[in-house]
Chain A
Amino acid sequence: MHVYILRRLILMVPVLLGLTVIVFLIMSMIPGDPALAILGSYATPENVAKLRADLGLDKTMVEQYWIWLTNMLQGDFGRSYSLNRPVLDEILERFGATLILAGTSLVLCTIFGLLTGVISAVRQYGWADKALTFAVLIGISVPSFWLGLLLMMFFAVELRWLPVSGMYAIYGGGDLPDLIRHLILPSITLAVVATGIIARLTRSNMLEVLRQDFIRTARAKGLDENRVIYRHAFKAALVNVIPVIGVQAGFVLGGAVYIETVFQWPGIGRMLVNAISTRDILLVQGGVVLVAGSYVLFNLFADVIQHLLDPRVKA
């Protein structure tokens, strides 16, 4: 077991290194100059050249990459041009906010996706199934940012039940209930599409399982119907659904970019969008490395857990 984990950890090094190279290359291929972004419309070619030299942008790509990498290994991600503060501070602060939003959405879409799928399957072709299938279809088709605005207009502007945007109230907020109230609209908006996908998949898997022999056997034995559905069928269907939930986790993180902008959620998605538009290279590079790095880590965790549960799964 230890050997397995160690091997995986060592494998992470080339993966992360490759990642930094790719991120660096992509950022250097994007047109637009950070020096121009800083100096604005008043940038004369002369001033741009001077600032580029100050920022080290006139060095060769290899030199720039090496400086960035070695500094980063010492925990120095550089200083953001556009925010004028250390990249690492900004990223860590933002990453927490994104995890809260994406995590809540993931929990919501898992619970409601599974629940909807099971109800649909059990009541196949009944009115509940039809209504839910219709709702799921709408959920999958509606663009998230539009749904977000719609929910915002209704629950925040018209009814004034919930805050419009932000993560905490400007005054007197900051506690858990305050956070939850701010979380409701963005996390629901973010969860809608994934809920639909999970619901569809659960429904079809459940239907398939319900037709199988062991379910017939269970029923023939005279088991209680609830027991048949939850103990036997649901468990069997879940095996196929769980990997998809894993994939949805990635989508939810990606979707957070739009949702964070609409709801002004101070997460990493909104930060990356702003950073790209201001050509804040160090901030983008640092942000992507950290997000991607944590993916790699999550993957490792998942694999280790899977390995622990089922030793047949090999690295």
Chain B
Amino acid sequence: MKSLFKGVLAAAALAVSAIGFGPAEAQTPPGVLVVGQIAEPKSLDPAAVTAVNDFRILMNVYDGLVRYKDGTLEVEPALAKSWTISDDGTVYTFSLRDGVTFHDGTPFNAEAVKYNFDRMLDEDHPEHDTGPFPLSFFFSAVEEVEVVDDLTVKFQLNAPYAPFLSNLAYPTGLIVSPTAVREGGADYGRNPVGTGPFKFAEWESNAKVVVVRNDDYWEDPAKLEAVVFRPITDANTRVAELMAGGIDLMVEVPPDSLTQLSGDDNFSVYEQAGPHLWFLILNLKEGPFKDKKVRQAINYAIDKKALVENVLQGTAEIATGPTPPAFAWAYNEQLQPYPHDVEKAKQLIKEAGAEGAEVVFYVTEGGSGMLDPVPMGAAIQADLAQIGLTVAIETYEWNTFLGKVNPGLEGKADMAEMAWMTNDPDTLPYLALRTDAWPDKGGFNSGYYSNPEVDKLLEAARSSTDQAERAKLYREMQEIVYDDAPWAFIANWKQNAVSSTLVDGFKLQPSFFLLLDDVVKN
């Protein structure tokens, strides 16, 4: 008995000494940045992905013709040195940077640009089957891409389309190496080749994606030798890895941990408001929300301050209207968020004769940009109970939820949670507020809002290439939508990240991208 016990102890001691415990564990080497990602990337083919998680890697491997200027959502040259836009706004001619090559040695030129867009948009293209390309509609205005000469490429649009440049700066517009796509076929997404500051080196499933510095980068080479992206799906584990030194930088820190880490000298906390809107879609076709007064009442009744401060613990700001303030140039600063005013809400409900109405509320369990949807839904339910509305919550898992909401709320629900992250002030209102964007017409206006004035403003804004003119139109649109209240405007999310203090030069971008070429690790 005793000898057996001793034997086990001895074996355990031996094992321990053989493995070698030691506090040296989990130190990442200098010059290599380890980033904790929220999930395994789906693919590293920029045309094929939709998730911010994947964009964070892509932006370091690829360049687009244009990009967002540091810290803004304004477009500046990248692989294109300059461009001209025809007076009618339908022809964009880009002159390309000379002497740039892809990581595999393929020269970057007009042919390569044409190849990229043909692959995405032309169903007969030999490599079109490397898709699907879920965001290719960003470029649906493109009629034809024409090679003028080796370093000049011309995009012919079927109508003026102002968001075109900003869509080119989005990951869907990043330029991939044609040779690599031809060789890789369906596997290209796991063997990506771009022109960016980092070259793809390795993708070990479920463990890491490694990119190394591209010394031949057309701009100043990156300061880091390499970046390792580690998928760590469990948020608590991600925080534990950061605290143990297993990763240097993590994004999407849970609110609780953010509070804890911001009080710790070993870590730097970053926050940045992004172009995100969390809102409630209201059903205008039937039920109590047909009446504008009831919709406004909802906006008054919801205690948005309590939501962003208590439920979201300060990780979001109160939203005002359909356009997030991150689109500074197009945002209407005259508008103030609907104040929390229960009396006013009650009065509006009374005027509308909607006292004691019962509404069905679709809530999701999670999903892209949805923050903390279940507690938020419950808090909103409680707020609406205060003005005498009975809210029946129906909770669905994200995919099921989208399957119910996107085809329209008619006959099913009176309101639904939703969140969008976009790159241009055009995207959300154009796809979700126009009459022509009702679900039966292929849009995302699931609440059937319709205002001819808004329709006109949005169409005009998208075909104008003058930014000041567009800004004016968007501001006007916001005023109308604010008053019509087809949605309850709730919150704009502040993205966050935490790094160890060894990391220097890191900045969050309003685009939600992770740009690492200027980051230093000591």
Measuring CB to CB, which residues of chain A are less than 8 angstroms from any residue of chain B?
31-33, 36-47, 51, 54, 79, 82-85, 90, 93-94, 111, 115, 119, 122, 149, 152-153, 156-157, 159-168, 170-171, 177, 180-181, 184, 226, 229-230, 261-264, 266, 270-271, 274, 277-279
Contacts and interface: CB of A to CB of B under 8 A. Distances in A.
A264 B240 CA distance: 12
Contacts of A279: 399
Interface string B228-254: 101111101100110111100000000
B445 to A, nearest CB: 11
A275 to B, nearest CB: 11
Nearest to A37: B399
Given A93-B205, A181-B19, A36 B403 contact: yes
23 contacts: A39-B50, A40-B134, A41-B367, A42-B134, A44-B443, A44-B444, A47-B134, A82-B42, A83-B205, A84-B189, A85-B205, A115-B4, A115-B8, A119-B1, A160-B23, A161-B22, A161-B23, A161-B25, A163-B246, A165-B246, A166-B207, A171-B29, A184-B19
B134 A111 contact: no
Contacts of B243: 157
Interface string B441-458: 011100000000000000
B51 interface: yes
Contact of A266 (B205, B234, B245): B205
Given A164-B237, A165-B232, A264-B234, A32 B399 contact: yes
B246 A164 contact: yes
Contacts of A226: 1
B399 A36 contact: yes
Given A85-B187, A164-B237, A38 B134 contact: yes
Contacts of A51: 132
Given A32-B397, A44-B406, A82-B42, A167 B207 contact: yes
B334 interface: no
Contact residues on B (Cβ < 8 Å of other chain), bracket: 35 or more
A165 B1 contact: no
Given A165-B237, A166-B207, A79 B42 contact: no
Interface in B1-50: 1, 4-5, 8, 15, 18-23, 25-26, 28-29, 32, 34, 39-40, 42-43, 48, 50
Nearest to B51: A40
A157 B26 CA distance: 10
B400 interface: yes
A55 B370 CA distance: 28
B72 interface: no
A41 B233 contact: no
Contacts of B367: 41
A32 B400 contact: yes
Contacts of B15: 180
B368 interface: yes
B382 interface: no
B107 interface: no
Contacts of A31: 396-397, 399-400, 403
B29 A157 contact: no
Nearest to A90: B205
A85 B191 CA distance: 12
B221 interface: no
A226 B5 CA distance: 13
A42 B137 CA distance: 10
Contacts of A230: 1
Contacts of A83: 40, 42, 205
A43 B246 contact: no
Contacts of A162: 21, 25
A262 B234 CA distance: 6
Contacts of B190: 84-85
B400 A42 contact: no
Contact of A262 (B4, B21, B237): B237
Contacts of B392: none
Contacts of A39: 50, 132, 134
B321 interface: no
A46 B140 CA distance: 14
A44 B403 CA distance: 10
B179 interface: no
A220 B170 CA distance: 86
Contacts of B21: 161-162
A-B complex: 4 closest residue pairs judged by Cβ atoms: A266-B206, A32-B399, A40-B50, A39-B134
A171 B246 contact: no
Given A119-B5, A149-B237, A262-B237, 13 more contacts: A41-B50, A45-B407, A83-B40, A84-B42, A85-B187, A111-B8, A156-B244, A159-B23, A165-B246, A226-B1, A261-B233, A270-B233, A277-B399
Nearest to B408: A45
Contacts of B396: 31
B135 A42 contact: yes
Interface string B165-209: 000000000000000000000110110000000000000011110
Contacts of B397: 31-32, 277
A266 to B, nearest CB: 3
B12 to A, nearest CB: 11
Contacts of A274: 39-40, 233
A59 B316 CA distance: 44
B270 to A, nearest CB: 22
Most buried by A among B19, B22, B32, B190: B19
A177 B18 contact: yes
A160 B18 contact: no
Contact of B1 (A41, A90, A229, A262): A229
A266 B207 contact: yes
A171 B241 CA distance: 15
B183 to A, nearest CB: 16
Given A79-B186, A180-B15, A266-B207, A153 B240 contact: yes
Contacts of A156: 25-26, 240, 244
Interface string B343-381: 000000000000000000000000110000000000000
Most buried by A among B28, B42, B231, B439: B42
A54 B132 CA distance: 9
A100 B18 CA distance: 19
Nearest to B366: A277
A82 B399 CA distance: 14
A79 B48 CA distance: 15
B442 A152 contact: no
Contacts of B40: 83, 274
B148 interface: no
Interface in B418-449: 420, 439, 442-444
